[in-house]
Copies of this chain bind each other. A is one copy, B any other.
Amino acid sequence: MFSPLYPFLWKRDSLFILDQRKLPFKKEYIKCSSYKDVIKCIKDMVVRGAPAIGVVSGYGMYLAVKNYKGNNLKEYLTKVANEFISCRPTAYNLSYVVNRIKNFSLEISKNKVDDKVLELVFKEVEEIREENKKMLQKVVENGLKLLKKNSCVLTHCNTGVLACGDIGSALGVIIEGYKNKKISFVFVDETRPYLQGARLTMLELLSAGIPCCMITDNMAGYVIKEKRINCIIVGADRIAKNGDTANKIGTYTLAVLAKYHKISFYVVAPSSSIDKDISTGKEIKIEQRDEDEVKYINGKPITLETAKVLHPAFDVTPAELITAIVTEEGIFKYPYNFK
């Protein structure tokens, strides 16, 4: 019914990023020939999802090195890296990848970018992409261990191929879980304001032929109470050392609902989401986005022009509400003590 969706492709020395804002209605790729193009795509949410943003920013850093024309590579790449990091400040994979390519480039280049350097930097980016793929497979493998047979699950936002560039994290577990008869039904929060659940997760689940049903975010309590949800599975954008987890706005409310209904609440994410420089969620900077992203849907206003609106892109779920955090390194339980 649907052709496979790749959130980005490298072709003819350019990065082509699938415009996820237009999904599921249109499939359009935006061509990025400079790192600025990539930054714009990340900022405008053409591409989103922590792991996908990570890999895409790797290609973006490569484009920055490729187009470098100055005489102080360190200063230049530091500036570029900061531009990347500040455009989605909550996602940790982004800064991980950007810093890795920056440091790698500086190490091998000795302030001079030639074809050999470019080749090695590109290889490093492809290596990151490959690591990302293998890592996600391991994440999913570990996640599957948590599921009982025929589970009915609830998920939020999109954590599939579109968010990860490969198999997916939380949604990867769900899709593989269905193939393994561990998942029988999936409820999907529409995930306001960007409707990633409605637009992207429903697309991925329907493409895979998995029985699913969309709900508005405020139906979660009703559905958990009435429809025998076994567990909630979500991704993560940044995890503090103590396990406090920043994820798409609405995740915290789900975690409270899970606690109240005594069902499991699982976070599934690559270990590169764990920020070991911060001890608790209090230190996670929550990105506040534009009001208009809430006030307009499909270009039309939903409230008065004069209305004030809040738009935190993420919220932080305290570690004690999370039953388990799954990474490629294993299954961790509260109190969290990551390797």
Instruction: Give me the interface of A with B, judged by CB distance under 8 Å.
Output: 1, 24-25, 187, 189-193, 195, 198-199, 202-203, 206, 212-223, 225, 249-250, 252-253, 256-257, 259-260, 294-295, 297-298, 300-304, 306-310, 312, 315
Number of copies: 2
A304 contacts which of B24, B223, B303, B312 (Cβ < 8 Å)? B24
User: Known contacts A219-B312, A310-B214; is A302 also within 8 Å of B190 by CB?
Assistant: yes
Known A256-B260, A307-B202; judge A192-B216 contact (CB<8 A). Answer: yes
Contacts of A192 in B (CB 8 A): 190, 192, 216-218
Chain A at the B interface: SS class: mixed
User: Do A252 and B206 form a contact, CB below 8 Å, given A297-B298, A307-B214?
Assistant: no
Known: A198-B303, A215-B309, A218-B250; 18 extra A-B contacts, CB below 8 A, are: A190-B302, A195-B303, A199-B303, A202-B304, A213-B309, A214-B295, A214-B308, A216-B217, A216-B249, A218-B253, A219-B312, A219-B315, A221-B253, A222-B253, A222-B312, A256-B260, A298-B298, A298-B302
What residues of chain B lie closer than 8 Å to A307, measured between beta carbons?
198, 202, 206, 212, 214
Q: How far is the CB of A263 from chain B (nearest CB, A)?
A: 12
Min Cβ gap A203→B in Å is 6
Given known contacts A215-B310, A303-B190, A307-B206, A220 and B253 CB-to-CB distance under 8 angstroms: yes
**Nearest-Cβ distance from residue A20 to partner chain B, whole angstroms:** 14
Is A257 in contact with B253, judged by CB distance below 8 angstroms? yes
